[in-house]
Amino acid sequence: MPEENHIIHDTATALRAEWGIQPSGNLSEEEILQLLAQKITEILQQGPDVFYQLMYRLDISERKLNEVTGSKDAAQQIARLIYNRQLDKIISRNKNRQNKDNIEPDLKW
C-alpha cells in the first residue's frame, strides 16, 4: 500500500473510532470529509457546548474555528480542520515510530 493510501487508511480508521463514521470500501478523502461534515451538523444541533468541548478535546485551534464558523459551508470546513488534525497526528506518530526504530539497541530503554 503506497504511503499516502496508508495514511488515509489510518486516518479513516481513527476517525471511524472517534466519530462513528462508516466510509465505504473505497476510502477517499472526499468521502471521509462528507461523512465528517454530516456528523458535525448533527453535533452542532445538540448545542455549542457539546461541540466546543469536542473541538477542545481534539485540539482544534479556536482561531481556526472562529474563521470558519460563520460561513455557509461551516460543517465542511470544520470537517477539514478535524481531518487535517487527525492526519497530522498520524503523520507525527509514524515519524516518531520511525525515529524510535532507528535508535541503537543499546540506547533503548
pLDDT digits (tens, 9 = 90+) for 22-66: 767 667 788 889 999 999 999 989 988 988 898 998 899 889 998
Which residues, 6 or more positions from 91, have their beta carbon under 8 angstroms from its beta carbon? 7
pLDDT digits (tens, 9 = 90+) for 63-89: 999 899 888 899 999 999 999 998 898
The pTM of this model reads: 0.77
Which residues, 6 or more positions from 40, have their beta carbon under 8 angstroms from its beta carbon? 51, 75, 78, 79, 82
Distance CA 77, CA 98 (A): 31
Each domain of the chain, given as residue ranges in start order, spans 3-101
Coil vs helix vs strand at 60: coil
Q: How confident is the model at residue 9 (pLDDT cuts 50, 70, 90)?
A: confident
